[in-house]
Amino acid sequence: MIYFDNSATTKPYREVLDSFIKVSGNFFGNPSSLHSLGAASEKLLTRSRQQIAELLQVKESEVLFTSGGTEGNNLAIKGTALMHAKRGKHIITTAVEHPSVIEAFEQLSEEFDFDVTYLPVDSAGRIAVQDLLHSIRTDTILVSVMHVNNEVGALQPIEEIGKLLAEYPKILFHVDYVQGAGKVPLDIKKSQIDLLTLSAHKFHGLKGSGVLYIRDGVHISPLFSGGSQESRFRSGTENVAGIVAMAKALRMSMEQRDKGIPKLLNIKNSSGKGWGR
């Protein structure tokens, strides 16, 4: 069987599963506990955060663990809206986002009186940066644009958008990087991104783990009240085994990326010539 549904989810790497099982069995302490089992779990969490920060070329303090893409997107968008509503209630996204973005915007519009601009896309599925420029207002607080589209694979001009938004330092820039992570490189710092979402099961990690990158100095409201984990942005006991497995999956998928893309192109190019020959 050739599995062709990697945009929906990917098969976990064998090594990722092995890490998950090992950590679940041997490091079951709560990382917030003060005893030695807790400290051992916390050490793994810290190491995973360092590894992920290094792979994404960001700071360790900017990596927050979540349950995946849906949570990361909701936290970035609603967290920004809740924190900055007094400054402005205009938010911008595109017409082609994943439902975890589109429906968060719809809820903010319908229930909390935010004014939303949905940027249109051209026949290649891309927005025009000029359209974004023309939609910016004095009360705009957030722009959310996905990197790779989950249905047609269109790539948005993230670096160009970041450059434009750098002229508007009060507008936060969120990127849904769920489909691109581990496959299509993105320079987070150069693109001047404030918030960025990843989900482990899209790069051969496990379902139920993700990352929200929050640039140092950016303030958003948490959506969960609780034990103040993840720098108070995301309360809830961390999924240590899933996070260790995610760090491994991100490293492996980035290492495989350069080999995998020529292989995929080869399959794509041979698809018109008939299978099974």
Ligand X SMILES: Cc1ncc(COP(=O)(O)O)c(C=O)c1O
The smaller minimum CB distance to ligand X, of residues 80 and 179, is found at 179
Q: Is 145 exposed, middle or buried (0-12, 13-18, 19+ CB in 10 A)?
A: buried
DSSP state for residue 216 in the 8-state scheme: T
Report the residue number whose CB is nearest to ligand X: 69
Phi/psi at 115 (nearest 5 deg)?
A: -100, 120
CB of 71 to ligand X, least distance (A): 7
Q: Does 70 bind ligand X (CB under 6 A)?
A: yes
Q: Does 146 bind ligand X (CB under 6 A)?
A: yes
Report the C-alpha gap between 244 and 205 in whole angstroms: 10
CB of 210 to ligand X, least distance (A): 6
Report the C-alpha gap between 242 and 207 in whole angstroms: 8
CB of 243 to ligand X, least distance (A): 14
Q: Does 62 bind ligand X (CB under 6 A)?
A: no
- Which among 227, 212, 225, 179 is positioned nearest to 80, based on CA atoms? 212
Of the ranges 120-128, 174-182, 253-261, 268-276, which one interacts with ligand X (CB under 6 A)? 174-182
Q: Does 253 bind ligand X (CB under 6 A)?
A: no
Contact code string over 72-101 relative to ligand X, x by CB under 6 A: -x------------------------x-x-
Q: Does 51 bind ligand X (CB under 6 A)?
A: no
Report the C-alpha gap between 273 and 277 in whole angstroms: 9
The smaller minimum CB distance to ligand X, of residues 48 and 100, is found at 100
Neighbours of 97 (CB within 10 A): 22
CB of 48 to ligand X, least distance (A): 17
> Could you tell me the CA-to-CA distances from 65 to 55, 71, 124 in Å, in that order?
15, 10, 33
Q: Is 144 exposed, middle or buried (0-12, 13-18, 19+ CB in 10 A)?
A: buried
The smaller minimum CB distance to ligand X, of residues 40 and 214, is found at 214
Check if the beta carbon of residue 182 is closer than 8 Å to that of residue 253. Answer: yes
The smaller minimum CB distance to ligand X, of residues 27 and 213, is found at 213
- Which residues ranging from 205 to 234 are in contact with ligand X (CB under 6 A)? 210
Q: Which residues bind ligand X (CB under 6 A)?
A: 68-70, 73, 98, 100, 146, 150, 176, 178-179, 199, 201, 210
